[in-house]
Each structure stands twice: as structure tokens, then as C-alpha cells.
Amino acid sequence: MAALIISSDKKNLYKKIAIAVIGLLTFYIVFQGASVSSHGNSVSSTQLSAGNSAVKNAKTGYQYRTVSYPKYTGPKEKATFVTLVRNSDLYSLLPSIKSVEDRFNHKFNYDWVFLNDEEFTDEFKDTVSALVSGTSKFGLIPKEHWSFPSWIDQKKAARVRDQMREDKIIYGDSVSYRHMCRFESGFFYRQSVMDEYDWYWRVEPDVLLHCDIDYDIFKFMRENNKKYGFAISIHEYEATIKSLWKTTRDFMELHPEFVHPNNMMDFISDDNGLSYNMCHFWSNFEIGALDLWRGDAYSAYFDYLDQAGGFFYERWGDAPVHSIAAALFLDRSEIHFFDDVGYFHMPFHSCPLDPEVRLRGKCDCNPASDFTFHGFSCTAKYFTVNDMKKPDGWVNQVDAAL
């Protein structure tokens, strides 16, 4: 009987120990071990308390602890979004930022650089900063990057604008549009606020991403040796770049050493370089390596174009200028078509035709609206010259209504 009583006591003791151990383990798992996995890098929940602070009610003296949210702390590239924008564009820019954040950046928290030829207002700075998950930075463009260079004949430039107005060429009479094109061609990557970065993604007002991007796109660029990425390509209006190809050919003659032996001339010319076929990557979306623009080849090319004056005597766009340079100075394998991001800039959509890609990316676009293989696009040519397989159904898009 006595033996039985001792055994019952022991049982109770073991029970209590077991309950205590289970309790401790549960506490540990819930409050210490839990982690939020974010692309292979775990963010410990203990970080949640890192920025906590208390608010105190002035009347009652009670304190209430506020919360802070964990940021992705894994390895990142030296990369930033970059947007040239006016204060007056604020409310057409916000949906662009929100879309890029929701589809991509809230997972990675890359910085965002905003550039303007005028000071940004507090309203602008406060509002965009609230939407960007990384750090927002603001750069004021120096006058010499947003004005007529000394060698430009102002009267001649004004006459061109008058003529282009008469000819109804889009933005043909605009001075600011020309400063914008020259700036995006030769100066955005030289702003001091861009110095710390190696990679950029250009974003404009009124654009949208249609698909989720669950991988670090900048890391993708670096690991695959890509230097320039595009979503949409298109033909340029010839009237805006009448002498751009002649000037480019003169440059190539002066500097044959800059033309890459494995270039993509066959994307921009149908006659082996004799003439330009107007194909260019639509530069309102660009993901690229800044060293492409900072390097010797492009620096010399931009200076040559700038001296020729075509940004003002014609209306050279940054899209053909960037595209010609990428096609000539890069190894063709360094240029990448993003077929999975789904992108919209008025009036064209890039929408993956492959249903698997669309579903994986939770894309919200209609593939029937995809511009990629439309006759006015150049992306079918990009596939052809690089021997890439076009997705099923691409032929149906060639004559699709825009």
C-alpha cells in the first residue's frame, strides 16, 4: 500500500514536470522560434520589437506600447528605383509606386530616387515616402543638366519647334520634353544621389505592373550577366530622329572599338547597319546596370550626340538613344526581355501569353491585349534574331486591334 502511495506521488510529479516542459516549449516556439520566411532569408519575429516605443496618455499616465514592422534584412543589390517627375505629377505617380510596391518591392524594400528640375514640395516628399518601403531620396537636377548647352543655336532650335508644331509631331514644340529626353539620355545616372547604386529600375507616372515578381530582379540581372532589361519595344516616329542614325554611324566609324563583336545590330537594322529600322526598347520601363551608361563607350556616344545637337534641332528621344547604344555596345546576351512582369504604360500592355506564367504571377491582365507580338512592336524581331522560341498563340496577336 505504502509503495502504491509513493508511486502515485511520483506520477503526479512526473505529470507536473511534463506539463511544465510542454508549456516552456510552447512558449519558446511561439515567442522565440517563429520566423517569417522571405525568399530563403528568415526574419526573426524578435526583430518586431526592435523599434518598439511607448506612447503615454497625458491625462491618465497609462502607457501603450506601439509596434514596428520587420524589414527584409537579407542580402540586397546596390539598386534603386528612379523616377524623373514634376510635383504636379504626384497623383498620377502614386498608383505606379503602389503597383510596383505591391507586386515586387514590399518584399525587398529597395530605395527609390526621385529627380526633379525644381525642388520637390513637402507634400510630394511626404506622400511618396509613405508608399515606398525602402528609403526615398530626392535629387534636384543641376541647371547644366536641364538647359540648352552653349553650342546650341537657340533660333534654329525655335524654328524646328515651330515647324514640328505645324507638322503635328507629338511633343514636337515642347522645350521641356527635349530637356527631359536629353536628361534621361545622358544625366540621370550622373546625379550624385545615384552614386551609391549599381542598378536601377525606371518608373514613370501612370504605369502598372500586372504580375507578381517574387524573385529579386536586380539579383537576377547580376547573376545572369544582364545589363539591360525591357518589357515593351516599339517603332519610333522617324520625323523625330531624322539624323540620329547618320550621327551614330559617324560615331561608329570614329570609335569602332566600342562596338561589341557579339552586338545586336540585327535588332535595330534590317540591312546590316546601313539604315535604322526604328526599333527601340520603350524606356519608360528599364531595368539596367548603371555601368552601361557610366562606361567609356556610352559616355563618348552621348557626348557625340549632344554635340551634334539633335536633342534640340530634332527631337531625339532617350528610348532610341539608349536602345541603339545597348544594341551596339553590349553583348547581345546582356539584353533581357522581361516576359513575366506584365507592364502597362498608356496605351500598351505587356501581358504574358503563356497561361502558366500568368497564373504563377497572379497577373491581372488580358492576354488578348498583349502588345508584345503586335506588328507595331519589335519584340517578335528580338525573338527571331536571337533564335528564341515565341510563345504559343503569338501569331494571333500580330494584327490584334490596339
Find the binding residues for ligand GTP in span 122-181 (CB under 6 A).
Answer: 176, 180
Interaction of residue 84 with ligand GTP, rule CB under 6 A: yes
Question: Of 229 and 361, which CB lies nearer to ligand GTP in the complex structure?
Answer: 229
Q: How far apart are CA 177 and CA 362, in angstroms?
A: 36
* Nearest distance in Å: CB 187, ligand GTP: 12
Partner that binds at residue 327, options ligand GTP, Mg ion, none, CB closer than 5 to 8 Å by kind: none
Partner that binds at residue 116, options Mg ion, ligand GTP, none, CB closer than 5 to 8 Å by kind: ligand GTP
Q: How far apart are CA 262 and CA 8, in angstroms?
A: 85
Q: Side chain identity at 39, as an amino acid letter?
A: H
Interaction of residue 116 with ligand GTP, rule CB under 6 A: yes
Interaction of residue 214 with Mg ion, rule CB under 5 A: no
Tell me the three state secondary structure of residue 60. Answer: coil
Q: How many CA atoms lie within 13 A of 211 on its CB side?
A: 27
* Nearest distance in Å: CB 128, ligand GTP: 13
Q: How far is CA 251 from the centre of its chain?
A: 29
Residues 6+ positions from 331 with CB-CB distance below 8 Å: 260, 262, 263
- Range in contact with ligand GTP (rule: CB under 6 A) among 19-27, 81-89, 324-332, 391-399: 81-89
| DSSP for 257-290, written as a single string | GGS-TT--HHHH-SSTTSS---EEE-TTSEEEEH
Interaction of residue 205 with ligand GTP, rule CB under 6 A: yes
Residue in 236, 286, 314, 334 annotated catalytic = 286
Which of 198, 204, 354, 364 is in the footprint of Mg ion by CB under 5 A?
A: 204
* Nearest distance in Å: CB 284, ligand GTP: 5
Q: How far apart are CA 380 and CA 390, in angstroms?
A: 8
* Nearest distance in Å: CB 205, ligand GTP: 5
Find the binding residues for Mg ion in span 147-166 (CB under 5 A).
Answer: none
Find the binding residues for Mg ion in span 280-319 (CB under 5 A).
Answer: 284
Question: Of 99 and 269, which CB lies nearer to ligand GTP in the complex structure?
Answer: 99
Partner that binds at residue 84, options Mg ion, ligand GTP, none, CB closer than 5 to 8 Å by kind: ligand GTP
Partner that binds at residue 133, options ligand GTP, Mg ion, none, CB closer than 5 to 8 Å by kind: none
User: What angle, rounded to 10 degrees, do the helices at 318-329 and 175-186 form?
Assistant: 20
* Nearest distance in Å: CB 345, Mg ion: 6
Stated as kind and residue range, the H or E segment containing 116 is strand 111-116
* Nearest distance in Å: CB 348, Mg ion: 11
C-alpha closest to that of 115 among 142, 139, 147, 143: 139
Question: Of 25 and 346, which CB lies nearer to Mg ion in the complex structure?
Answer: 346
Contact 96, 206 (CB under 8 A): yes
Interaction of residue 198 with Mg ion, rule CB under 5 A: no
- Mark whether 196 is an active-site residue: no
C-alpha closest to that of 316 among 378, 215, 248: 248
Secondary structure of the chain: what % helix, strand, coil (to 5)? 45, 15, 40
Q: Side chain identity at 19, as an amino acid letter?
A: I
Q: In the numeric block, which cell numbers belong to residue 104? A: 515586387
Provide the binding-site residues for ligand GTP, judged by CB under 6 A.
Answer: 83-86, 89, 116-117, 176, 180, 204-205, 284
Catalytic positions, written as ranges = 286
Provide the binding-site residues for Mg ion, judged by CB under 5 A.
Answer: 204, 284
